[in-house]
Amino acid sequence: MSGGDIAIRARGLTKCFGELRAVDDVDLTVERRQVYGFLGPNGSGKSTSIRMLCGLLTPTDGEIEVLGLRIPEQAETLRQRIGYMTQQFSLFADLTLQENLEFLAAVQNLPPKKARERVDELLEEYHFSDRANQLAGTMSGGQKQRLALAGSVIHNPELLFLDEPTSAVDPESRRDFWEKLFELADAGTTILVSSHYMDEAERCHRLAILDRGVLVADGSPAELTGRLADRTLEIKGEHPRQAKHIVLTVSGVISAAQIGNSLRVLCAEAGDCAARIQDALANASVDAEVVPAAPNLEDVFVAVTNKQPQQQPSEHS
Ligand SMILES: Nc1ncnc2c1ncn2[C@@H]1O[C@H](COP(=O)(O)OP(=O)(O)O)[C@@H](O)[C@H]1O
Ligand SMILES: [Mg+2]
């Protein structure tokens, strides 16, 4: 792969805060025009990594090259070519939508005529034309994040860093937001996006999973789930709670999570785990059926972090 196809390359990326190794020897390669997901529990080092890759934070150790620039040395040049957006609403609540975008255009030094054209274009593309004069503070959480996204691409950056952009957003707005991300990726933008939502992770071209600062897995969703082949089971029965207690005592079982009336079980290796579970349930006179299940990214997350992923808010929240 030639250097021109690579948007981000980090080797041995490390950040210490006193005794804490918040990011620990991370190697990362992100190809251009990809949507690359950054996954991990709270405190796993996602934001710290992103800040270093943008040139906002100096690494303790390691090498970073972004869009062919050495970071942090050439961070000033990089800044004009990237966009950066975080979970926090980063717009002015007491300015209108249009004024917010005009302000960001000025910050990016767009000439006045170009700025006007670009603001109009974004208002249109992001479906805000009819509310250009509304105060940003009066919008819903999802609308605010969509406006923040529009603002972060005002200068047509080649690369976008999005740090948990949809954490505080309802599921429908999250889908809208991801539609925009794919439009940007189709138009050639590289996107690095952190998230703790598994449905978002499924949509990424590739992803990296961090745990306590360490990169514990990376690959395409299919590669990552493929590594768990024959290690995921579903247990269906009348008494899932009772079954769970028994299943967790069986050797080789890593986790058992109740989902509705069934249990989802992850085994340490493919093999005779299902048979051992079946025996244990039969010995305890618990009537249940053990069937193979196709592995998903939640299973991957559990397998590499030993934690259950954070659940997404319900459709009503
Ligand atoms: N400026 C800082 N000073 C000290 N500790 C920090 C600082 N920033 C982050 N940390 C710590 O580093 C770890 C990783 O944090 P962070 O990168 O924010 O994780 P994530 O974004 O995955 O939730 C956490 O333990 C956090 O408390
Ligand atoms: Mg964070």
CA–CA separation, 66 and 10 (whole Å) = 8
Tell me the C-alpha to C-alpha distance, in Å, between residue 280 and each of 47, 226, 277, 283, 287.
43, 28, 5, 5, 11
CA–CA separation, 224 and 25 (whole Å) = 21
Please spell the DSSP secondary structure of 162-193, one letter per residue: EESTTTTS-HHHHHHHHHHHHHHHHTT-EEEE
Query: What is the number of alpha carbons within 13 Å of residue 63 lying toward its C-beta?
Result: 7
Q: What is the chain's mean pLDDT, rounded? A: 92
Domains in the chain: boundaries: 3-225, 229-294
CA–CA separation, 229 and 223 (whole Å) = 10
Ligand nearest the Cα of residue 44 is: 1
- CB-count burial class (<10 Å; 0-12, 13-18, 19+) for 278: middle
Query: What is the number of alpha carbons within 13 Å of residue 259 lying toward its C-beta?
Result: 14
* Phi then psi dihedrals of residue 145, to 5 deg: -70, -35
From the CB of 42, is ligand 1 less than 6 Å away?
Answer: yes
From the CB of 47, is ligand 1 less than 6 Å away?
Answer: yes
Pick the CATH number of 229-294 from 3.30.70.100, 3.40.50.300, 3.30.70.20, 2.40.50.1070: 3.30.70.100
Residues of the chain with pLDDT > 70: what percent?
96
Ligand nearest the Cα of residue 305 is: 1
Q: What pLDDT does 168 receive?
A: 79
Written as six digits, the tokens of 124 are 């249109």
CATH of the domain spanning 3-225: 3.40.50.300
- Residue from 13, 14, 15, 17 whose mutation best tests the ligand 1 pocket (most atoms within 8 A of CB): 17
The CA dihedral of 208, 213, 216, 217, to the nearest 10 degrees, is 10
The tens digit of pLDDT for each residue in 265-311 reads: 999 998 899 999 999 999 999 999 999 999 999 999 999 988 777 66
Which atom of ligand 1 sits closest to the CA of residue 23?
Answer: 14
The tens digit of pLDDT for each residue in 70-113 reads: 999 999 999 999 999 987 767 899 999 999 999 999 999 999 99
From the CB of 44, is ligand 1 less than 6 Å away?
Answer: yes
From the CB of 17, is ligand 1 less than 6 Å away?
Answer: yes
Q: Is the pTM of this model over 0.75?
A: yes
